Amino acid sequence: MMRGARPLARAARRLSTSCEGKAYAGAMTKVVCTLGPATETQERVQELCDAGMACARLNFSHVTDYSEPAAKMELVRAARGEHAKLEGTIHDAGSRHANLRAVLLDTKGPEVRTGTLPGNADSFIIEDGMEVICTFDDVSSDPEVKAGDSTCRLHVDYESLPSTVAVGSKILLDDGLISLQVTSIGSDSVTAIAENSGPIKARKGVNLPGSILDLPALTPKDKEDIQWAVETGADFVALSFVRSARNVRSCRAFMERCCPDQKTRMPQIISKIENQEGVDNFDEILEASDGVMVARGDLGVEIDFEKVFAAQRYMVDACNRVGKPVIVATQMLDSMMRQPRPTRAEVTDVAAAVLDGADAVMLSGETAAGKYPIESLQAMKSIIREADAIIDGKSREGETSGKSYARSAQKSANVVPLQDVELDAVARAACRAADALDAKLITCVTRSGQLAKAVARHRPSIPIVAFCYTAEVGRSLALHRAVTPILLDAVRGSEQKMDLNGAENPYEKGTSMGLLRAESIRTCRELGYVTDGDRVVSVDRALGKAHDAFAVAQTLKIYTACKRTAFFCTIVRSAHNPPLIIFSPVAQHRPAGAVRETRDALVETICFGTPANEQGPEAQEFAVRGSGVPLVGAVLADAGQDFLAFDEVLVVADVAVNVTMIFIQNLFDRQLALAPIR
């Protein structure tokens, strides 16, 4: 029951939709691609988008000029998406409002590196057994190291090195390629013996496994980069070398200071776990973060390599339990930087990450500087599609819906409940209902993205299509497994945007939730996500107004897709006239302005119940025949009379060329039939 006259003409206006990535054509697990020299043209970025890239990573380790990442971000924003395939879309193929691929800024972080080499040499060979004196002093004036030398000095840009390591500790150079063992510690230097030989260059990474480093959470460069990310609208910031929750909180506080106003949407923080301290403090880091990246490159150097897989499984499982996205990264398909096909070990590695529960997997050098960037992404997608089919119980051998339901219940039991118990209950019920009914999709209309995230945290076995009111919200869902965001422009005027944080209640603008559900299913069918006979589970939540008896209404509905046209059945009750039933087709291309032009005639029709045969050309071609009730088919415009009250029901009709029949059970305790006016 709706009190007052909700203007259904607004609800019947045309909606524009656009989306990224097919729910069925693509895999459930997302792929993050690093942009670099191999993929810094519009053509290459478009190929990555077409192949299934969900998020583009910009590596800021060596960025000094912001024009380079700005150009890459523009390439991502300008790429075409699935929205170009929708009929009647008001957005052109390159509209940035319709592009829902996210951009992730990866910070350099507080690293320890080698400095200028003795004699300003480009490189030299550290021999097995050579004595290496690690110091914070400048060693560029030292003589150049030559073959046969038994000792050398090496600049390390970490002043607290002597107080950080202990005798017997390891110092690893260049991602662990050279290992040094500490033999003595001085006041301003550390002496170590090389355990193997290898070349060393300036600005190479230095790892101190097992040591607790005294480094700031954010370097001056990190702060400049993060401020750029906030100002330019990056969607995620990957915070490097996170060691504790304090690092994450410091980053978030800095972001808040960078925001020009409260309406600016801050990037989400993805904490990169790359050292033993991060693993030890993982639970508190996860609680403070929006997501996690398992950065196995540095992690495999900082901890024993044989323990990396166990750490990966632990972190992925912990993220799954709290519903936060987790990315598994580094050397996933490393051989494809040089070869057109992955190794069998790499295929198994990618599949294992998906089976562990990763929301996304990442390509680094493969797409940034490799010879086969597009082929790498295609190979990655094909692997995770197969793994997704296994993890979701949809392998070629198949699985009964009963087993699927039991699996869904078991997965949900392991998920930590949300504080919003009602939202969590509806999200859990949606996933279980989808499994029990063998549904093909779960759809939701979300203002802030929280509804889609709540459903995704229960790890459903089918895609979630999330209809979002802003592109910023849509891109914020890019790393969540199974979620396909779609931009739903429900505001009159295609370029008018709502509050970025979704604080504005869309229902106050007169958009009917029933219409949005019908439009969402129509769009999914148009994009090929569902076909005739497929079941769709729809979840939504509405905010109550001052005169409503509820604050928030959670709704779960089941639909069956078919070749049908949606109608609104509106029952108009007047104090002086018998009830009037109006069937209003959901006109996909009917502009709201044309509805308003008929307002005066339609209000007269509503108030006096004009017979159908006396209607003007603006009336619809349908009339309802029911005993004792004056019924007329018309489009309801902005009739705001206080004496009118509405009961609104969304019905769906089979559409034929000459005959249309609608049956509504229990409406006025009778069955009504709708037929075309002759």
Three-state secondary structure call for residue 346: helix
Task: Tell me, yes or no, if 511 is annotated catalytic.
Answer: no
The answer to whether the beta carbons of residues 263 and 500 sit under 8 Å apart is: yes
Bridge partners for 565 per DSSP? 653
Tokens standing for 243? 């060691």
- CA 72 to chain centroid, in Å, comes to 19
Largest Cα separation within the chain, whole Å, is 109
Q: Which DSSP state fits 133?
A: E
Distance CA 625, CA 610 (A): 14
Distance CA 663, CA 26 (A): 38
CA distances from 657 to 654, 661, 662 (A): 10, 12, 15
Q: Which two tokens stand for residue 224?
A: 């400049």
Which entry of 85, 108, 113, 249 is annotated as an active-site residue?
Answer: 113
Distance CA 65, CA 563 (A): 54
- Residue 536 phi, psi dihedral angles, 5° rounding: -130, 130
The answer to whether 592 and 13 are in contact (CB under 8 A) is: yes
Amino acid at 147: A
Q: Which residues pair with 290 in a beta bridge?
A: none
Question: Quick one: tokens of 334?
Answer: 């490393």
CA 58/CA 475 separation, integer angstroms:
16
Report the distance separating Cα 321 and Cα 413, nearest Å: 9
Structure tokens at 89: 């879309």
Half-sphere exposure of 137 (CA within 13 A, CB side): 13
Spatial separation of the C-alpha atoms in residues 666 and 663, rounded to whole Å: 10
Distances (CA, A) of 638 to 361, 510, 566, 644: 50, 10, 20, 12
- Given the residues 30, 243, 272, 475, the one annotated as active site: 272
- CA dihedral of residues 289, 291, 295, 300 (deg, nearest 10): 70
Contact 357, 320 (CB under 8 A): yes
SS3 state of residue 560 = strand
Strand-pair partners of 151: 131
Please report the DSSP string for 464-509 in residue order.
EEEEESSHHHHHHTTTSTTEEEEEEE-SSSTT----TTS-S-GGGG
> How far lies 291's CA from each of 148, 236, 239, 247, 294, in Å?
49, 9, 10, 14, 10
Residue 330 falls in the annotated catalytic set: yes
> Is residue 536 within 8 Å of residue 558, measured between CB atoms?
yes
The active-site residue out of 6, 14, 57, 522 is 57
For 433, the token pair is 């209902």
Cα–Cα distance measured from residue 562 to residue 531, given in angstroms and rounded to the nearest whole number: 7
User: Length of the chain in residues, anyone?
Assistant: 678
Helix extents (H) in 342-394: 344-356, 365-368, 373-391
Strands 670-676 and 535-543, by their bridges, are unpaired
Separation between Cα atoms, residue 122 and residue 114, nearest integer Å: 12
Query: Tokens 């779609």 belong to which residue?
Result: 486
Which is catalytic among the residues 330, 367, 570, 610? 330
Quick one: which of 523, 602, 598, 613 has its CA closest to 566?
523
Assess whether 272 carries a catalytic annotation: yes
Annotated catalytic residue 307: no
Tell me how far apart the alpha carbons of residues 483 and 56 are, in angstroms, rounded to a whole number: 17
Q: Which amino acid makes up residue 636?
A: L
Active-site annotation, residues: 57, 113, 272, 330
